[in-house]
Each structure stands twice: as structure tokens, then as C-alpha cells.
Amino acid sequence: MAAAPRLFPAVTVALLFCFPAAVRSRRDVLELGDADFDYLATGHETMLVKFYAPWCGHCKKLSPEFEKAATRLKGTVQLAKVDCTAHSETCARFGVSGYPTLKIFRNGRDSAPYDGPRTADGIYHYMKKQTGPDSAHLKTDEDLQTFISHYDASIIGLFSGEDSPHLAEFLRAAGLLREQFRFAHTVDLKLGEKYGVSSESVLLFRPPRLDNKFEDSVVVFRDYLTIGSLRRFIRDNIYGLCPHMTAENRDRLRVRDLLTAYYDLDYHHNVRGSNYWRNRVLRVASKYSGRGLTFSVANKKDFLSELEDDFGLGTSDGGELPFVTIRTKLGHKYTMREEFTRDGRSLERFLDEFFAGHLKRFVKSEPIPERNTAAVKVVVAESFDEVVNDPNKDVLIQFFSPSCPHCKKLEPVYRDLADTLSSDPNIVIAKMNAADNDVPLGYDIQGYPTIYFAPVGRKDEPIRYEGGRELKDFLKFLKSKASHSVVSTGSRDEL
């Protein structure tokens, strides 16, 4: 008698072929495709999806950070990915036009674009804030104390009842801002009495780790509650006199002139030690408040590459003492060269010099070439004004990187252009290594090579070159844009 067929393996095989792209990677990232996206996405309350292409360099850079974040978020937020070269229908449906594109989905519906940081730690913290309700409902004082005893700041709404119109507006604001801030609310006004509030209002609690004697740890919002007014209140008060700058909040802090003291700061393991130097910065900050400068502290280890690239600093600079910089909203940079003293006097002298306009800006620059006789003039940051901003010369400048293959391909054409125009005394063909020199304001360098034209009389309005990269293309452009008749050593047909 023949043995009965075994059904279990067949069922398993059938399930595997129902959703061929639904394979959970060993790294906790769910792979989705055209056949299974809707089916699987609806099974997750919150999901972050990365739409990518295997050949995309930025996607490859993001991949290990995305994997690490997926492991840390396992059980709370599902991370998934869609290969748009294999599943173009899904990517087109969600309007994906560049890679990588990250979107937040709630129960299978496209909820919002992800515009947070792209490090594992940044993705983790950003997406943790996407879980649960937009605003936690607090019922007791114990609930409130637990909520505000947190690493980050807390915004608490106090309302008279569930039907309060102000509560509805507060919840709408929480839904829009939850990725940046933590919200909670209560309908028990008694919870606000210990903070001097007995009517409907909003309380902003700064992080307990940043508590200090120079400012209040709780700020009360008393304006008419709208999404806009609440957003402004949070923006103006969330950071206080001296916030802790991180990779996640630095862009929001740098919309103003910003002083930062960098040192071995670690609020996770050494709150007291971290606040030792911050309190000294705070003492000085309280004297200079209202003068348009924001103060902050940061962990030097988190910004080593930035300090090296932007300020030429190494790991030993500052030693155990804070190293202080100022970066203005216009991009100007200054460094405090005097050693940070515990009484804050050195910091005060640095600030007095800054506000008096006596400080010399820090500029990252290669040395000015001793000989610069080639047809293509070499420009460095220190010589940029002298060469490119020469008021009597039209200048075409190429920003390049030594490692850029496209720049190397352009080099012979660019040299031919300079040779062709070498007899014209009113035009300069120049190049600058943008990887090792600060690029001035007004020049937006997103990739290499990037070419700009700085004409006579309009040095503050350089024109980005978007044309072809043959000799005749450059000559045609210069003929149309130059402030004078271009003189060429080539044939007239080239012009």
C-alpha cells in the first residue's frame, strides 16, 4: 500500500511561492516587492521603508546604518526595503524619483516622508518617537513625573476636559511635530498647580540632565493656542541658554550664529562630569544673552570628522579642556585659540573680540602656490578673493576633488580652454580643490566637478555653468556671458 502524501512540505512550498519577495533578512530588514507590499505592510502599525537601487552609492552608504537601526528597533518599528530596479510598480505608486527614498507607513498607508538623520542612532531615536499615540494621556501626577523624567524635553498640555477645543488643537500640533518633540496631555488641571498653573495651558519641561541655576527648568506657554503659536513657543524655548548639540539637532541650532564648546561630554554615563564644563559656559552665556549668539556644548568624539574638515583640528586639540568654535549663519568660522579657563575669563575675552569684529576668520586653505604660471590658475581659499573676485576680470572656476574621475576626464578639455583664451587679459580660467579648501558663500557645491562663472560687476552673483563639456560649449558660454569681447587664439569658428 502506497504511503499517504505528506501535505506539510507542499503547504510550505506554496506559501513560499505566494509572496516571493517577502523574505526577512538575517539583519531584521523586511524585503518587500510588487506582489506582497500591501499584504505585508498592513500588518505593521509603524514601518519605515527604504526605496533603493543596488547601484546607488548613497544607498550603499545607508545600508549598514539601516540594518543596525532595524535590529535595535526590532519589536517596536519594522524596517523594510524595496529594490526599485526589480519592483518599479511599487516605487512608481509611491512617487519614488530618487534613491534612497525613505517613507513612514502606518498600517500600510503612506503616512509621511522620513526626513530625519541617516545614522543608525538617528534612525532609532527618530522612529522611536513615531510609535504609540501622538500625545500620551497622563492621568496622575505619577504619570507626569515618569513622563518628564526623560533624556529629552517634554511638552505637556493641561486641559479642562476631553471636549476642550484647545486639546483638539494641541493634538493636531502633536501629530505634526511628534518626530521632533515628545508630547503628553492631561484633563486634570490639578496636575499643573505645583508649577503655578491653574488654567488651561502648556508646560515645556527641559531635560532633567540639563537642569541648572541660570534658567527655569519649566516654561509656561500662555499665548492663544494654535499650531503655529505652539510651534514658535517650542522653537524659542526648547533649547534654553546652552543646549546639548547632537548630530540630530545641529541643523536646527545652526540657523543662528552658534558657539559650541566641544569636550568629552557623555550624558548617558557621566551627567555630573558633562555639566561641569557646561555650567561654566552657561555662566558666560547668561552674561551675553540677547546679543544674537546661541551657545551649545557637544561631545567632541561625535564631531571629530567635522572639526577636522571644517576647522583643521586633530583628536588632541583642546586636550581635556573644551575647544570652542563659533559658526555664523553665513558660514563664517572662528576658533578660540586661548586655553579655556575654569573662571570663564578666556571665553569672555573671545566673545568680546568676536562682537567687536576683531577676530580673524578661520579659513581652511591649502598654501597659496609659489608659482602659478600654468594656463589654468590654481585657486585656494586664501587666494579666492584676489583671483576670483578681482573686479576687473571675468573668471570661470571649476571646483573639483582630486579623487573625482569626472574631473580627471574634464582636465584636458579645461586646459585646452585655458590655452585657447590665454591671450585674453580680461578672463581667467581657474580651478580649486574643494575637498581641501573652504568654498565661499554663493557657490553651491553638491558634486564634482561644479563650474561657476564670476563676471565683472556681479561677483556676488556667480552663474552656475550647466552646459556641455566640450571646448566649443565653454567658448560659446563665455562669449554670451563675458563682460567684453572674448579674445581667442583658436579659429573664429570655435567662437
Q: Which are the catalytic amino acids?
A: 56, 59, 404, 407
User: Residue 206's closest CA among 288, 278, 292, 113?
Assistant: 278
Q: Are the beta carbons of 131 and 77 closer than 8 angstroms?
A: yes
Main-chain dihedrals φ then ψ at residue 297, nearest 5 degrees: -125, 155
Alpha helices for 318-404 (secondary structure H): 345-355, 384-387
| CA distance to 320, 392, 453, 456, per residue, from 483 (Å) | 55, 10, 11, 6
Torsion of CA 89, 93, 94, 95, to 10 degrees: 90
Which contiguous run of DSSP H or E holds residue 112? Answer: strand 109-113
Is residue 378 a contact partner of residue 372, using CB atoms and an 8 Å limit?
yes
**Amino acid identity, position 449:** P
Q: Is the peptide bond before 165 cis (omega within 30 degrees of 0)?
A: no
Bridge pairing between strands 218-221 and 293-299: unpaired
**CA-to-CA distance for 234 and 251, rounded, in angstroms?**
16
Exposure of 195 in the CB half-sphere (CA atoms within 13 A): 24
* Cα R_g (the chain), whole angstroms: 29
Q: What distance lies between CA 200 and its chain's CA centroid?
A: 36
b/e per residue 246-275 (b: at least 16 CB within 10 A): bbebbeebbeebbbbbbbbbebeeeeeebb
Grid cell 573639483 in the structure block, residue: 400
Judge contact between 404 and 459, C-beta under 8 A: no
What is d(CA 72, CA 345) in angstroms, rounded to the nearest whole number?
44
